[in-house]
Amino acid sequence: MKVLVTGGTSGLGLAMASALAATGASVALTGRSGERARSVAAELPGAIGIEMDVRDESSVAEAVDQTWSRLDGIDMLVNNAGIGMRTVNPRFMTEPQGFWEVPSEAFRAVVDTNLTGYFLVAREITPRMLASGGGRIVNVSINHSTMQRAGFVPYGPSRAGSEALSRVMAADLRGTGVTVNLLLPGGATVTGMLPQDLLPEDHGFLSPEVMGPPIVWLASDDAVGVHDERIVATEFGPWVRDRESRQ
């Protein structure tokens, strides 16, 4: 399995890239800093690091072309790159900000990364997958409650948009051999998106490693043909057992 994980240098992306690499998958992880992406990838078996700014069409095209060449194809895209509320309001968890207080440039920056970025990378890769006979796309999402939480503009709307995008992608690609699924942690997770003054052990946040088992399963033979599903990592065990019992 040849996998491209965007935003793979930390947080959920690194956890998924690590889990996939541990199974023997060939993994390319991306970051805005090519140097950092290469440094992180060097710690994973068989992984490569690629510079990609998901907001920039030319950067996306160049990174996908380079990844396709170096891996000799891409079987799975994990759309994960994103920025959170910390970039807009560093104390968003304790001092939420009304939407009318959000600077327009901050709104655009989050939407450009979290929504437009998913679109640009998937748009670049999908024609290649179709031409090669199939592929898998996994779009990382969040809880619906977070999409609607007070003080969460623009992060909530950006992720709601990416989830709607994923559903439309799944509808457009139904029956083509390219599958599209959603994957989310199922709760607040310890990543760089959290305010620095919040201690994980005091707030019960999830570990990024919760994403490991479901992304490995989605890359496996067991997930062939799985399409348009919304998989919650914290509920993955019961979900997959229930699925197997119905087959």
pLDDT at 93: 75
Query: Helix 117-132 crosses helix 57-71 at what angle (to 10 degrees)?
Result: 40
Given the residues 68, 152, 155, 236, select the one marked as catalytic: 155
pTM: 0.92
Average pLDDT in the 207-236 region? 97
pLDDT at 202: 46
Average pLDDT over all residues of the chain: 92
Q: In the 8-state DSSP scheme, what is residue 232?
A: E
Whole-number Å distance between alpha carbons of 8 and 18: 9
**CA triplet 26, 29, 32: central angle to 5 degrees?**
160
How distant, in Å, are the alpha carbons of 210, 226, 238 from that of 222? Answer: 19, 9, 15
Whole-number Å distance between alpha carbons of 126 and 77: 9
Whether 155 is a known active-site residue: answer yes
Q: Using the Cα atoms of residue 26, residue 116, residue 234 and residue 201 in order, give the sign of their dihedral.
A: positive
> Is pLDDT above 60 for 163?
yes
First-to-last alpha carbon distance for the chain, in angstroms, is: 25
> E strands of 115-172, at which residues?
135-140
Tell me the percentage of the chain whose pLDDT exceeds 70.
94
Whole-number Å distance between alpha carbons of 95 and 139: 30
pLDDT at 187: 77
pLDDT at 201: 47
Query: Helix 155-173 crosses helix 117-132 at what angle (to 10 degrees)?
Result: 20
Q: In the 8-state DSSP scheme, what is residue 205?
A: P
Pairing relation of β-strands 230-232 and 48-51? unpaired
Whole-number Å distance between alpha carbons of 149 and 132: 41
pLDDT band at 190 (very low <50, low <70, confident <90, very high): low
- What is the domain partition of the chain in residue ranges? 2-245
Homologous superfamily of 2-245: NAD(P)-binding Rossmann-like Domain (3.40.50.720)
Whole-number Å distance between alpha carbons of 129 and 180: 12
Half-sphere exposure for 90 (CA within 13 Å, toward CB): 2
